[in-house]
Structure 1
Amino acid sequence: MKLVCVDCSKEVPTHLFDYQCTCGGLFDIIHDTSDIDAEWLKRVFHERLSERMTPYASGVWRYKELIFPGLPEEYITTKYEGNTGLYASALIQSYVGSNSKVWLKAQSENPSGSFKDNGMTVAVSHGRSLGYQRFTCTSTGNTSSSLAMYAALADGESYVFVPNKNISLNKVMQTLAYGAKVISFEGTYDDGIRFYEQYSKELGLYICNSINPFRIEGQKSIVYEIAQYLNWNLPDWVVIPGGALSNVTALGKGLQDLKNLGFIEKVPRVALVQAEGVSPFHRMVAGGHTELTPEPNPYTRASALNIGNPPSWKKALRTLEETNGVTCSVTDQEILDAKAWVDKSGIGCEPASAATVAGLRKLIAEQVIDKDETAVCILTGNMLKDTDALQEYHLGESTQASYPNKIVLAQLAFEEIGAMLS
């Protein structure tokens, strides 16, 4: 394993760990897999599916050889994350207008309720191996609760910086419950990132946001799981929401790992979906530009996507180039309508997750994705995040809901209830 800068290609040994290169670029972790027997490793991954109460019962650490092979087990901090459901939904297939299977990967089933657990278990474990006791992040909700949970499991401390608006209060409450010190500040997610990039070393804080390359390594396990569940035959498309863009970065790395090892024959195409009010990456790609222009006033009801200056955009661009990928943006209305369908499919998700289904629907309608192509949508977080949007959609007046499910007032009388059920 070594650290390689995505900007200047400088190589650094992992024991000299840092988040950023001296040139300002982010680091990537590169593994040497030349000596790996792929068929042996595939058997190991299969055998570990029966593990219980060991680190390898985790849907992340099952793939330890491809994520963090040299980490001693004593530092692994796990809550058996991963192992989340992969569901083929006929209802969603119909909604998006596809003739082929559409799967939903429900990362909402992770212990803290989001995909962040896949990366956070690796970041906190790495931080412990370096001797850190204090862990930090900036978050709109999911990252903070995940960090607080793993820091508590590790008998460490967590310090979470939260913007004072456009966040998920439910997830902040979860963060507080896990014992984190929550600091609310006036500004945006990007302001929080800039603060601890400048002061984390001085404060003795280990950063657990997506600028940390070990977070990315853990998140690769999402696509490993999808591939293993489908007997190493991936769909034609993987659709993913884009906020900080760490997930699409991890997805691209994971796909290249699988292809290089011969686990899969064909790399699926990636579709990245952003919210229309916060779509700097999509605008850059659609406009054919080579530099990202941050969104100074980001806003979307899908709080996890409310990141105007995504730190991992260069890594994400590499994923699009390697997979012949595409981007699109969808309105909050399209996101909330798609969420209504995902919820009533029995799976459920937060608004940011539903952007994938809304994006798939749009890309099929625009004939970018063929109706006969298969797809998997990554659902990143739990439906109990951003419940104000959920309440407003089904019960409120301010949102123009296409598929509201209103509460019905009735007397407990046989005739009245019978009339409703007839």
Structure 2
Amino acid sequence: MRIVCYGCGKEMSQSTVEYQCSCGGLLEVVHDFANVDADKLKCEFQQRLSERTGPYASGVWRYKELIHPELPDEYIVTKYEGNTGLYRSEQIRQSLGIREIWLKAQSENPSGSFKDNGMTVAVSHGRSLGFSRFTCTSTGNTSSSLAMYAALAGSESVALVPSDQISMNKVLQTLAYGAKVIEFDGTYDDGIRFYERYGEELGWYICNSINPFRIEGQKSIVFEIAQSLRWEMPDWIVIPGGALSNVTALGKGLHDLRELGFIKRLPRIALVQAEGASPFHKLISQGEQELVPVKRPSTIASAMNIGNPPSWKKARQFLASSSGVTCSVTDEEILEAKSLIDRSGIGCEPASAATVAGLRKLLAERIIGTEESAVCILTGNLLKDTDVLRRTGINNRILSSQLSLESVKSLI
């Protein structure tokens, strides 16, 4: 395992606490799979499904050899993350008119979002380097995940949270786990710039997606999908895009699986952004070479409210390597899809629903064919943003009645 700069290829020490190279490029973990017995490892992964305690009971650390093989087990902080459901919904399939659809409910993670897959690895690696104070800037899901793992490790955590367009549910969850929350005027991107300037001086271990070990953990999402489908991948994987760490991680994981011979072909990736926060979609659709940040991103999907995604260069490469596409969807389209997912019995936060909204749009544009299959990644729990539920009138459906047989009968 090596740590190298994605931009210039410079190799770093494995004990480095840097997140960017002097050239400005992000760092990434590079594995040597030359001596890996893929068939033996497949059997090992299958056997570990029966584990109930210990690191291998985790849906992330089950794949330790492909994520962080050199980390001693005593540093691992786990809450048995991963192990999330892969669901079929006939209701959603018929509504979209596609041959086959699965929904990967990362919302079932311990803190309620996909961030747990990466955070368990970031915090565990930070512990192995001797850190006991961890930090992030967040629109909510990252901070609540970090706070949970730091608390499990008996460590401190600090979250920088923008004061505008965030979900208070996520902030309250972060506080409940014992984190110090610093609210600031500005955006997620301002928080990242703050860490770039002062992170080393503060002495905190940064757990945003600029941390290469976050990306390694998030790869496990696609490992679980592949194992659940007996290593036969769908035609498409549809991913919501905010900071773009998911498309980077899942793209990296897919290439790992193909290199090892676990899968025969790469599925295509569809990256969906909210219309009010879609700088990456504009970059791809307009054929530009440099991303133009959105200074004041605005969307009801708070988890996607990021105007300058730090992982856009990596995301562009992985998208191109899978013949991937992008699209943007309106808040109205997101809420329509969310209602469909919620009523199917699965449920999700608004950012998650962007995947189904995007799939519907790509089907209508005939970019994705109705005879194809797709997995939509649902990134966050239904209860992550109850303000949206209130604003969309869910609470108005509560029926008021005297508790008598006649009164109840009149309402049902």
The TM tier, using the shorter chain, reads over 0.9
Answer whether contact 1:96 1:358 (CA < 8 A) is retained. Answer: no
Residues 218-229 of structure 1: matches in 2 within 5 Å? 218-229=217-228
Aligned equivalent of 2:257: 258
Instruction: After TM superposition, give the deviation of residue 297 of structure 1 in Å.
Output: 1.0
C-alpha distance in 2 between matches for 1:283 and 1:366: 17
| SS of alignment partner, residue 277 of structure 1 | helix
| SS of alignment partner, residue 119 of structure 1 | helix
Residues 29-178 of structure 1: matches in 2 within 5 Å? 29-98=29-98, 100-178=99-177
Query: CA RMSD, aligned part only?
Result: 1.1
| SS of alignment partner, residue 215 of structure 2 | helix
Is structure 2 residue 397 aligned with structure 1 residue 406?
yes
Is structure 2 residue 406 aligned with structure 1 residue 415?
yes
Q: Deviations over 1:369-420 (max 9, x none)?
A: 0001000000000011121111111248xxxxxxxx7223344343343244
C-alpha distance in 1 between matches for 2:241 and 2:93: 22
C-alpha distance in 1 between matches for 2:386 and 2:394: 11
Answer whether contact 2:401 2:407 (CA < 8 A) is retained. Answer: yes
Answer whether contact 1:76 1:125 (CA < 8 A) is retained. Answer: yes
C-alpha distance in 2 between matches for 1:27 and 1:278: 25
C-alpha distance in 1 between matches for 2:367 and 2:411: 43
| SS of alignment partner, residue 375 of structure 1 | strand
Instruction: After TM superposition, give the deviation of residue 61 of structure 1 in Å.
Output: 0.2
Aligned equivalent of 1:338: 337
Answer whether contact 2:17 2:205 (CA < 8 A) is retained. Answer: no
C-alpha distance in 2 between matches for 1:418 and 1:162: 48
C-alpha distance in 2 between matches for 1:282 and 1:304: 16
Answer whether contact 1:89 1:101 (CA < 8 A) is retained. Answer: no
Question: TM-score, length-normalised on structure 1?
Answer: 0.96
Range with greater deviation from structure 2 (203-212 or 6-15): 6-15
C-alpha distance in 2 between matches for 1:394 and 1:264: 45
C-alpha distance in 1 between matches for 2:355 and 2:230: 23
| SS of alignment partner, residue 397 of structure 2 | coil
Is structure 2 residue 289 aligned with structure 1 residue 290?
yes
One-letter amino acid of the counterpart of residue 64, structure 2: K
Answer whether contact 2:236 2:269 (CA < 8 A) is retained. Answer: yes
Aligned equivalent of 1:401: none
Instruction: After TM superposition, give the deviation of residue 2 of structure 1 in Å.
Output: 1.1
How many residues matched?
A: 412
Q: Deviations over 1:132-180 (max 9, x none)?
A: 0110000011000000000011111001000111111001101001000
Instruction: After TM superposition, give the deviation of residue 16 of structure 1 in Å.
Output: 3.1
Answer whether contact 1:163 1:186 (CA < 8 A) is retained. Answer: yes
| SS of alignment partner, residue 14 of structure 1 | coil
C-alpha distance in 1 between matches for 2:15 and 2:194: 25
| SS of alignment partner, residue 136 of structure 1 | strand
Aligned equivalent of 1:353: 352
| SS of alignment partner, residue 276 of structure 2 | coil
Aligned equivalent of 1:309: 308
Answer whether contact 2:3 2:11 (CA < 8 A) is retained. Answer: yes
Is structure 2 residue 271 aligned with structure 1 residue 272?
yes
C-alpha distance in 1 between matches for 2:65 and 2:182: 37
Is structure 2 residue 328 aligned with structure 1 residue 329?
yes
Q: What are structure 1's unaligned runs of at least 5 residues?
A: 397-404
Instruction: After TM superposition, give the deviation of residue 282 of structure 1 in Å.
Output: 0.1
C-alpha distance in 2 between matches for 1:288 and 1:32: 34
Answer whether contact 2:399 2:411 (CA < 8 A) is retained. Answer: no
Answer whether contact 1:6 1:314 (CA < 8 A) is retained. Answer: no
Residue identity (%): 68
C-alpha distance in 2 between matches for 1:16 and 1:296: 32
| SS of alignment partner, residue 346 of structure 1 | coil
C-alpha distance in 2 between matches for 1:34 and 1:136: 35
Instruction: After TM superposition, give the deviation of residue 13 of structure 1 in Å.
Output: 3.3
Q: Deviations over 1:316-347 (max 9, x none)?
A: 10111110000000000000110001011111
Aligned equivalent of 1:249: 248
Question: TM-score, length-normalised on structure 2?
Answer: 0.98
C-alpha distance in 1 between matches for 2:95 and 2:387: 24
One-letter amino acid of the counterpart of residue 270, structure 1: I
Q: What are structure 2's unaligned runs of at least 5 residues?
A: none
C-alpha distance in 2 between matches for 1:412 and 1:77: 49
C-alpha distance in 1 between matches for 2:407 and 2:233: 50
C-alpha distance in 2 between matches for 1:284 and 1:16: 32
Instruction: After TM superposition, give the deviation of residue 8 of structure 1 in Å.
Output: 1.5
C-alpha distance in 1 between matches for 2:325 and 2:132: 41
Q: Deviations over 1:175-227 (max 9, x none)?
A: 00100010001111110111111111111100000000000000000000000
One-letter amino acid of the counterpart of residue 43, structure 1: C
Aligned equivalent of 1:2: 2
Aligned equivalent of 2:13: 13
One-letter amino acid of the counterpart of residue 24, structure 1: G
| SS of alignment partner, residue 122 of structure 1 | helix
